[in-house]
Amino acid sequence: MTKRDYYEILNISRNASDDEIKKSYRQMALKYHPDRNPGDSECEENFKEASEAYEVLRDSQKRELYDRYGHDGLKNSGFSGFSGFEDIFSSFGDIFEDFFGMGGLGGRRRNRSSARRGSDLRYDLEITLKDAAFGLEKDIEVKKNIACSTCNGSGAEPGTQAQTCATCHGQGRVMQQQGFFNVATTCPRCRGTGTTIASPCKKCRGTGKTLETKTLKVKIPPGVETGMKLKLTNEGEPGERSGPQGDLYVFLHVAEDSFFQRHNNDIVCQIPISFSQAALGAEIEVPTLYGTEKLRIPKGIQSGDLLSIRDKGIAHLNGRGRGDQIVQVLVKTPGKLTRKQEELFRQLAELDQESDEDKKGFIQNLFN
């Protein structure tokens, strides 16, 4: 199915400010919220669509990627949208609290202490310029908390289970009177969980989590740049009380290359040539990211001039074509000459001197 334009979905201009983007999303989320439109599949789809648009346009990096390459660029960078409503509510909880207060709508978020999304994690990955050009699959090792294998994340010793907190009766909050007001505070006994554990799991000591190293496979698409990030859904911290897992964000850093430089999707390099090659022209072999290529040097080229080799640059993230390789030629002055070379250069200098005499006459005529 063809995706709609995110700016069109939120009914904003392409140069809309962050405040305008948030304001538009708030209006649409309030209009299409599933608790306000129970059983209406069209409203649910509009709600998901608006939430995905807001997730992209509120993030400066995702927005720049979308503006340059559209939906294909986001897909190739690893962005896959939301897994469901709970993922949306966890990501934009502050917005929905502004709408509906602490209680939520239709009971969807009435008991906020019952389930909580796990924290997102960050991993910084350095890759080479060639990796960025061609893409790769790479295994990374991440230290993270995972659900305890002994108690399956419950925190209770196998054969036992958590009990409903006798103080808050499972609500996770208790009411306290302060003057004329009743104020809800986190239950001091269960610390907001709504349950207590009489026999904690020995392996995780009742936390329901253990710290372990996990090997993950990261697929890096061709054309990435420093600062881009890839999202590995559900590879973050485990959620609290059966809440959804967080995500892992892999931030990419492209190391500088000793020979090639990158400018957008073009590759730039400098190649030395001799005086004779510059004067007479030549055909030379030039290194590229894809192997060596033959390059024709035209007669009379000057030091610093640029030549181009088509389609030997970096692939576009949208998968459509590649940049070019730009070659800057540098005419190299020989440091040592053989006797024969020196003799030939002297002959050339005499010819140049005759040419200089013609130039002097031309200059004198200008001032006479």
pLDDT of 125-175, one tens digit each?
A: 999 999 999 999 999 999 988 888 888 888 889 988 888 888 888 887 887
The pLDDT assigned to 3 comes to 84
Q: For the stretch 64-86, what's the b/e string if a residue is b when 16 or more beta carbons lie within 10 angstroms of its beta carbon? A: ebbeebebbbbbbbbbebbeebb
The pLDDT assigned to 364 comes to 55
- Residue 51, burial from CB neighbour count under 10 angstroms (0-12, 13-18, 19+): buried
Distance separating alpha carbons of residues 259 and 315, to the nearest angstrom: 19
Indicate if 140 and 210 belong to the same structural domain. Answer: yes
| CATH number of the domain where residue 105 is located | 1.10.287.110
Indicate if 137 and 230 belong to the same structural domain. Answer: yes
Q: How far is CA 246 from the centre of its chain?
A: 17
Token pair, residue 149, equals: 């294998």
The pLDDT assigned to 238 comes to 83
**Domain encompassing residue 35:** 1-112
The helix (run of H) or strand (run of E) holding residue 231 is strand 229-232
Mean pLDDT to the nearest integer, 3-18: 92
Indicate if 119 and 5 belong to the same structural domain. Answer: no
| Percent of the chain residues topping a pLDDT of 90 | 40
227 contacts 251 by C-beta, under 8 angstroms: yes
The pLDDT assigned to 90 comes to 64
| CATH number of the domain where residue 217 is located | 2.60.260.20
Residue-averaged pLDDT of the chain: 83
Distance separating alpha carbons of residues 107 and 22, to the nearest angstrom: 25
- Residue 299, burial from CB neighbour count under 10 angstroms (0-12, 13-18, 19+): exposed
Domain end among 112, 129, 147: 112
- Going by C-alpha positions, the residue among 270, 267, 299, 266 that lies closest to residue 283 is 299
pLDDT at residue 29 is higher than 80: yes
pLDDT at residue 363 is higher than 80: no
Domain end among 239, 255, 271: 255
Indicate if 354 and 243 belong to the same structural domain. Answer: no
- Tally of helices (H runs) and strands (E runs) in the chain: 9, 15
pLDDT at residue 357 is higher than 60: no
Q: When comparing pLDDT for 101 and 62, which is higher?
A: 62
Indicate if 87 and 118 belong to the same structural domain. Answer: no
- Write the CB contacts of 280 (distance below 8 Å, at least 6 apart in sequence): 299
Tens of pLDDT, residues 206-217: 888 888 899 999
Indicate if 81 and 133 belong to the same structural domain. Answer: no
Distance separating alpha carbons of residues 363 and 167, to the nearest angstrom: 103
Please count the other Cβ atoms lying within 10 Å of the Cβ belonging to residue 137: 8
Q: How far is CA 304 from the centre of its chain?
A: 35
> Domains in the chain: how many in total?
4
Residue labelled with tokens 């294998």: 149
Indicate if 144 and 246 belong to the same structural domain. Answer: yes
Tens of pLDDT, residues 271-329: 999 988 999 999 999 999 999 999 999 999 999 999 999 999 999 987 788 999 999 99
Indicate if 148 and 235 belong to the same structural domain. Answer: yes
- Residue 43, burial from CB neighbour count under 10 angstroms (0-12, 13-18, 19+): middle
Indicate if 55 and 77 belong to the same structural domain. Answer: yes
Domain end among 215, 230, 255: 255
Which neighbouring-strand residues pair with 253? 126
Which stretch of 24-38, 98-112, 137-151, 353-367 has the lowest confidence by average pLDDT?
Answer: 98-112
Mean pLDDT to the nearest integer, 320-347: 87
- Residue 358 pLDDT grade (very low, low, confident, very high; cuts 50, 70, 90): low
Q: Give whole-number Cα distances, 90 to 29, 116, 135, 244, in Å.
A: 14, 8, 32, 9
pLDDT at residue 104 is higher than 70: no
The pLDDT assigned to 72 comes to 81
Radius of gyration of the chain measured on its C-alpha atoms: 33
Q: What does pTM read for this prediction?
A: 0.61
Q: When comparing pLDDT for 190 and 127, which is higher?
A: 127
The pLDDT assigned to 214 comes to 92
Distance separating alpha carbons of residues 197 and 325, to the nearest angstrom: 65
Indicate if 221 and 285 belong to the same structural domain. Answer: no
Q: How many residues does the chain have?
A: 368
The pLDDT assigned to 124 comes to 95
Distance separating alpha carbons of residues 186 and 171, to the nearest angstrom: 9
Indicate if 104 and 217 belong to the same structural domain. Answer: no
234 contacts 244 by C-beta, under 8 angstroms: yes
- Residue 13 pLDDT grade (very low, low, confident, very high; cuts 50, 70, 90): very high
Indicate if 14 and 73 belong to the same structural domain. Answer: yes
